[in-house]
Structure 1
Amino acid sequence: MIRPKWTPVAWLADRMAVLVLGLIAGFLVGLSFAGDGRILPAATTVASTDGPAPSPVPPAPPVAAQGVDGPIPPQVTARMRRGGVLRVGVFGDSFGNGIWDALYRQLPTSDGYEVLKFAKEATGFTRYRTLDLEKRAYEQLARDPVDAVVISFGANDAQAVYDDGHLYPLMGDGWKRVIGQRVDRFVAAARSTGAVVYWVGLPVIRDPQLDADMQAMDGFYEAHMRRLGVPFVDSRPLTLGADGKYTAYLPDSKTGRPVLMRTGDGLHMIGIGYQRLTSGVAADLRRYAARVRQAAGRPAPTPTGEPR
């Protein structure tokens, strides 16, 4: 198959279309909320064969795994002792907004949780000229420290990244270097309050080329999370149909009957779809909350047994 040749104008128009659809879907997802994936442990020039080679960056040393079964940081115990709740912060783009709503419903206040939304649509690691995610995260967590962080980025990052006067193509060596450094620093910011961290990967996308880009980025993110000791939630198995392809209808967790879980843009999900992606994270955080309450000498609240 011969693919059409992309001009810079056509490429920008295509990515702008994805962004517009993402913004629209973000609003629709907010109104929509009413199988088994894996949580894995853990003057501008174009950089090309004609451009400057990216500077070699030695790999960062592995970070000790930090998860729900590891030591409880003293600041987390102290916050539980004072407030009696496990505070969960959700970072991301429009997907992050959906992840926040899902966890907000799965971890209700009446059960001893506070789920905070730090996500912002139309953001990403390729867009630091618009918003520096690392700086914003430190500012947010200084105001509202949390005990657990859930991250979901990537919907807006299937594009080149501008850095230090150069435009590095998607998934090229320069792109991986720049985005990898930003991801590493962002995770460090997320951990600055003693929080355990999860990264939720991207679901299957309807458009084949965009899905291939997203899958490649997810592999990159997963490798970074493994090195950083961050559990990675592989969303693809949860969003594939029985034929192994994209489908808007997926089995309901209780009845097994197919129900609509995707929005019409072929990118985002509706409320029940996001809850499908976060059920494993929610279960882990309930277990962690029980350990933290025990360490803080706090009695467990009487659970409602039902999500919001």
Structure 2
Amino acid sequence: MRSGRWHGFSTRRNLLGAAAAGLLAPAGQAFGAEGGGQAPERLNLLFLGDSLAQGLFLSLSPVLRRRPTPRLINGTLHATGVTRTDEHDWSSVTRDLVALHEPQLVVFWIGANDFRPLVVREERVRHRFGTPGYAEHYARRVTEMTGHAVHAGARVLWLGLPNMREPQFAGAARQLNAIQQAAAESAGAQWVDTWDATSDADGRYLPSVAAQTATRVFRAEDGVHFTGWGYLRIGALLFDTAAERFPELAPGLGRLTEA
């Protein structure tokens, strides 16, 4: 049986209804009274990660484009991961992008391709998933990625991997989440759990949810990614968490609201 954490979030902040609408409230309407202060003139929001982060960026962009404050920056790249610095060195990429764009908020979502062996080029070694060497080097890279963003002055949210349809992938995702969470939090990031939001009451993979009078599919056919509406549902959780953990950014972020 799952913890019910997602139900706590949704009950207190009506996130399920908010995500069903797929719209963003004006910043002042959403947080002006509660958060206090005016929205900043510009809030640079940098997305980093693989196809999960890419899908989230692409789904949120059309909605946020209509608002004057948030500026979404796409630092994502599909078919990449933390394990293969020879293909795409996420630590270096993070360092360079935060220096270039000076974001106030950085969102990481990565790991869908990280069940393969981890390559350490300088040692000419490959560590299989699930081994101590894998966990050690993977955690070190997550720490470096987070550290570059934190040291540049950004607030950091790290999204955990969602539940997945295939049991072997779901089990691996849980292992990877444990490594990511410990490393990201130790380096100064705030962890955003997505497992409960993508599981039913018994902890099983959840492909669709009830939305108003209909049931809507929010997971893609591959059992890993999301539909456009599904990404907005995760976006609701992301923005709610950002406002809760970083209240100074809340006026510039807004939140998803019910239709």
Q: TM-score, normalised by structure 1?
A: 0.64
Equivalence map 1:92-131=2 (5 Å): 92-104=49-61, 107-131=64-88
CA distance in 2, matches of 1:189, 1:304: 27
Q: 1:239 aligns with which of 198, 205, 210?
A: 198
Q: Is residue 228 from structure 1 mapped to residue 228 from structure 2 by the alignment?
A: no
Distance in 2 between residues matched to 1:304 and 1:184, nearest whole Å: 29
Do the aligned residues in 2 keep the contact of 1:97 with 1:119 (CA within 8 Å)?
A: yes
**Partner in structure 2 of residue 75 of structure 1:** none
After TM superposition, give the deviation of residue 99 of structure 1 in Å: 2.2
Distance 2:42 2:59 in 1: 18
- Counterparts in 2 of 1:36-47, with a 5 A limit? 36=7
In 2, distance between residues paired with 1:37 and 1:216?
24
In structure 2, give the amino acid aligned to 1:211.
A
Percent identity among equivalent residues?
24
Question: How big is the shift at 1:249?
Answer: 0.9
**Separation in 2 of the partners of 1:205 and 1:283?**
23
Does the aligned pair in 1 maintain the 2:115–2:129 contact within 8 Å?
yes
| Contact 1:37/1:235, CA 8 A, preserved across alignment | no
Q: In the superposition, relative to structure 1, how do residues 193 and 106 fare at CA in structure 2: closer, same or farther (>3 Å)? A: farther
2:146 & 2:119 partners in 1: Cα distance? 21
Map of 1:176 onto structure 2:
135
Are the counterparts in 1 of residues 147 and 187 from structure 2 also a CA contact under 8 Å?
A: no
* 1:83-162 aligned within 5 A: 84-104=41-61, 107-162=64-119
What TM-score does the superposition give when structure 2 sets the normalisation length? 0.75
Alpha-carbon distance in structure 2 between the residues aligned to 1:202 and 1:261: 15
Task: Tell whether the 8 Å contact from 1:249 to 1:261 is kept in structure 2 after alignment.
Answer: yes
Q: Distance in 1 between matches of 2:8 and 2:175?
A: 18
1:104 is paired with a residue whose SS is: helix
Asked if the contact 2:243–2:249 (Cα under 8 Å) also holds between the matched residues in 1, the reply is no
1:282 matched to which residue of 2? 239
- Indicate the SS of the match to 2:157: strand
Contact kept? 1:197, 1:230, Cα under 8 Å: yes
Structure 2 partner of 1:201: 160
**Residues 87 and 113 in structure 1, CA contact (< 8 A), matched pair in contact too:** yes
Number of equivalenced pairs: 220
Using the alignment, how far apart are the partners of 2:138 and 2:241 within structure 1?
28
Q: Would the alpha carbon gap of residues 209 and 306 (structure 1) be closer, same or farther in structure 2, given more than 3 Å must change?
A: closer
Q: Describe the shift of the 1:109–1:160 C-alpha distance in structure 2 as closer, same or farther (beyond 3 A).
A: same
Q: Per-residue displacement from partner, 1:254-288 (whole Å, max 9, x unpaired)?
A: x2742110111111111211222221321344578
Task: Name the stretch that deviates more: 174-183 or 226-235.
Answer: 226-235
Q: Using a 3 Å threshold, how does the CA distance of structure 1 residues 111 and 246 change in structure 2: closer, same or farther? A: same
CA distance in 2, matches of 1:37, 1:118: 31
Distance in 1, Cα, partners of 2:124 & 2:226: 36
Cα gap change, 1:192 to 1:169, in 2 (>3 Å):
same
CA positional deviation for 1:223: 1.7
C-alpha separation in 2, matches of 1:171 and 1:242 = 28
C-alpha spacing 1:180/1:288, structure 2 compared with 1 (3 Å): closer
Name the CA shift for 1:239/1:191 in 2 (closer, same or farther; >3 Å): same
Any gaps of 5 or more consecutive residues in structure 2? Answer: 1-5, 10-39
RMSD: 2.8
Structure 1's 92 and 189: CA in aligned 2 closer, same or farther, altered over 3 A? same
Name the SS for the 2:67 alignment partner.
Answer: helix
SS in 2 for 1:110: coil
Unaligned runs of 5+ in 1: 1-34, 39-79, 294-299
Q: Is the 8 A contact 2:157 2:242 kept in 1?
A: no
The residue type paired with residue 246 of structure 1 is Y
Partner Cα distance (2:133, 2:244) in 1:
40
Rounded Cα–Cα distance in structure 1 between residues aligned with 2:178 and 2:115: 13
Output the amino acid matched with 1:215: R
Aligned match of 1:270: 227
